[in-house]
């Protein structure tokens, strides 16, 4: 048998052919990913916001059709990130942030200024949400009456209906922006309405609160586990340039900032990686249901922690009350004993 290094010649040709085809497929896939830049320093807020004058919105151009917007820490401690993806027929805005007042947060004006012209107006805009929490939808009112703007509802039935996901949370929906397709994957666990977005054009994975450099708040552990497995399966064979979440809550060394802090010096980078997504199932598998820090992820159920804190506080109050009652009873008993001792003898 004609062999080369122990491999039959026929098998060797097949192996080389398969490898060549695989390489070409991967190269073609990567070549289709539009590049962009994450070379940006986000405004860090201040310990005293009365002494600084940061703009309420910071806009970073990832590329000519992709924009990342952040609401300033001095405008809201949540400082959420919003994403604007522009296609040829429409644009997509993911989340509207934590501030509704257009005077304090000119979100709609900023977004419209970024949109290209279309006829006598602007390119049509579709506004969606990663989930229904207020810090991701408070700016909806700024878009409600604008022409050529559609705001998708944030309640679960509205989400399921718009994306036509009757078998929620299974299935994947698509948004066609014209020459740009965005996949929408249900991801309940943090919230029952949570979805994440994968942009095929850039390879960007917009993760909302599903994955951030910060606290991963989990309301439903079983739903979260199903979601992290489903999303790991989705991204495993797809190129992911960056994972971009809804907040930054860690410093560059991985330490959490204080809750509600308006000052984030030496902040962690916004972007996480495909490896972080693939590591989530193992991390959630170790979650104790209350608080788990495995060094890479901080997972917590804030509702359970609050309940435990409340019960602990109640137990302390009850305990202190019980000790107080015991103290008063003993004091009265001692007073009665002292009175009997000092009472004069009537026979004297």
Give pLDDT < 70 ranges for the chain.
Answer: 1-31, 304-316, 319, 322, 338-348
Q: Where are the domains of the chain?
A: 49-300, 302-339
> 226-275, pLDDT tens digit by residue?
999 999 999 999 999 999 999 999 999 999 999 999 999 999 999 999 99
Second-level CATH architecture of 49-300: 4-Layer Sandwich (3.60)
User: pTM to 2 decimals?
Assistant: 0.83
Q: Pseudo-torsion of CA 247, 196, 102, 249, nearest 10°?
A: 0
- Contacts of residues 44-48 at CB distance under 8 Å and 24 or more positions apart, as own/partner, are 44/73, 44/263, 44/264, 44/265, 44/266, 44/267, 45/72, 45/73, 45/74, 45/79, 45/261, 45/262, 45/263, 45/264, 46/73, 46/74, 46/262, 46/263, 47/262, 47/263
> 297-329, pLDDT tens digit by residue?
999 997 766 665 556 666 667 767 767 777 777
């Amino acid at each position: 048998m004609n062999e080369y290094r122990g491999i039959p010649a026929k098998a060797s040709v097949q192996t080389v052919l398969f490898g060549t085809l695989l390489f070409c497929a991967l190269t073609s896939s990567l070549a289709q990913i539009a590049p962009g830049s994450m070379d940006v320093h986000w405004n860090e807020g201040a310990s005293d916001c009365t002494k600084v004058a940061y703009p309420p919105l910071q806009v970073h151009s990832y590329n000519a059709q992709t924009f990342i917007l952040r609401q300033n820490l001095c405008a809201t401690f949540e400082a959420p990130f919003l994403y604007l993806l522009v296609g040829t027929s429409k644009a997509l805005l993911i989340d509207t942030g934590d501030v509704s007042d257009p005077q304090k947060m000119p979100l709609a004006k900023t977004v419209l200024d970024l949109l290209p012209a279309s006829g006598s107006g602007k390119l049509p805009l579709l506004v969606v949400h990663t989930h229904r929490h207020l810090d991701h939808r408070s700016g909806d009112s700024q878009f409600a009456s604008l022409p050529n703007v559609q705001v998708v509802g944030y309640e679960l039935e509205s989400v399921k209906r718009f994306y036509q996901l009757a078998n929620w949370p299974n299935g994947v929906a698509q948004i066609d922006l014209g020459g740009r397709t965005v996949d929408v994957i249900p991801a309940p666990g943090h919230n029952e309405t949570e979805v994440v977005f994968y942009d095929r054009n850039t390879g960007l994975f917009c993760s909302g609160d599903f994955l951030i450099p910060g606290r991963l708040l989990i309301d439903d552990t079983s739903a979260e586990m199903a979601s992290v497995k489903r999303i790991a399966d989705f991204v495993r064979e797809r190129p992911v340039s960056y994972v971009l979440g809804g907040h930054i809550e860690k410093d560059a060394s991985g330490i959490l900032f204080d809750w509600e802090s308006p000052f984030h010096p030496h902040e962690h980078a916004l972007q996480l990686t495909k490896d972080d997504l693939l590591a989530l199932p193992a991390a959630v598998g170790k979650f104790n249901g209350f608080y788990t820090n495995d060094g890479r992820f901080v997972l917590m159920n804030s509702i359970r922690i609050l309940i435990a804190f409340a019960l602990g506080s109640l137990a302390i109050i009850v305990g202190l009350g019980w000790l107080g009652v015991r103290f008063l009873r003993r004091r009265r008993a001692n007073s009665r004993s002292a009175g009997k001792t000092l009472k004069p003898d009537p026979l004297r």
